[in-house]
Amino acid sequence: MKAAFDIVIPARLNSKRLPGKVLKDVAGKPLIQRVYDCARKSHARTIIIATDSAEVQEVARSFGAKVVMTKTTHHSGTDRIAEVATIVNWSAEQIIVNLQGDEPRMPGLLIDQAADLLIDNPRVRLATLCAPITESEDLYNPDIVKVVRNQRDVALYFSRSPVPFHANRRDELSNSRSIRSTYRHIGIYSYRVSYLKEFGTQKPSPMEKEEKLEQLRALWNGEPILVADAVEEPGPGIDSPSDLVNAVAYFSNHSIA
């Protein structure tokens, strides 16, 4: 029998790009409930919504979610989850999955895969997933984070810019709709609590501030990040008003409980 894992969904109400995002209506349910529904399709032992908003707390409790209230000063979702780890008093080896609050189409299979990366690799403390980029416009979309790995599938860098740069194919890239050896980061993480508590004591790194990517703090401080190929393609997250429109259209046309 595999080790148990828990999910924390960090839910910040004051999103800069889409204010009030987690409470936006998505075909009859608030976005945060759509994400919670994804979590329920995994094999997680416990699902917690972590927020600093009384409004989010009230909505989450209305559909039966467990809520932990956190500080308003966190720089990232991982910082918020680190506080939850202290409040709940999880053991150092407990595995926590960070399911981001704007991912309403994250398959339960990928949530389980993220947890399994730590269950199956006892020395790893931080892991995530990626998928190939197949559309050239995605390469240049700053909302789609790119990742470069080494031969052991450990992250070298994450960026909103196109990486790696294909010096021998610069003309091809502008027209090609198939971008070889380029991967997008999927917004899900698994951590051991021992690492979460370390992360929570570290200051945001220079590149983290530039790129607005919390995982760069881990790389800055020398923490390896295992990045596996996702076993299934997730649906898109919600980063903009147009993403929200597309999500409403999707859920309106799919009979998903």
17-38 pLDDT tens trace: 788 999 999 999 999 999 999 9
Q: Which domain CATH number covers 48? A: 3.90.550.10
Q: Are 238 and 21 in contact (CB under 8 A)?
A: yes
In this structure, the strands spanning 146-149 and 126-132 are unpaired
In the chain, % of residues over pLDDT 90? 85
Q: Is residue 27 part of a domain?
A: yes
Is 239 domain-assigned?
A: no
Residue 238 falls inside a structural domain: no
Read off the pLDDT band of 255 (50, 70, 90). Answer: low
User: Do 100 and 11 meet the contact criterion of CB atoms below 8 Å apart?
Assistant: no
Judge whether 140 lies within some domain: yes
What's the mean pLDDT in 66-84? 96
- Residue 75 in any domain: the answer is yes
**Secondary structure of residue 71 in the 3-state scheme:** coil
Residue 257 covered by a domain? no
Q: Residue 91: inside a domain, yes or no?
A: yes
Q: What is the pTM of this model?
A: 0.93
Query: Left (φ > 0), alpha (ψ -120 to 50) or beta: where does 221 sit?
Result: alpha
pLDDT in tens, 125-184: 999 999 999 888 899 999 999 999 999 999 999 999 999 887 766 555 554 544 668 999
Q: Give the domain range for residue 89.
A: 5-233+248-252
Q: Does some domain include residue 134? A: yes
Domain total of the chain: 1
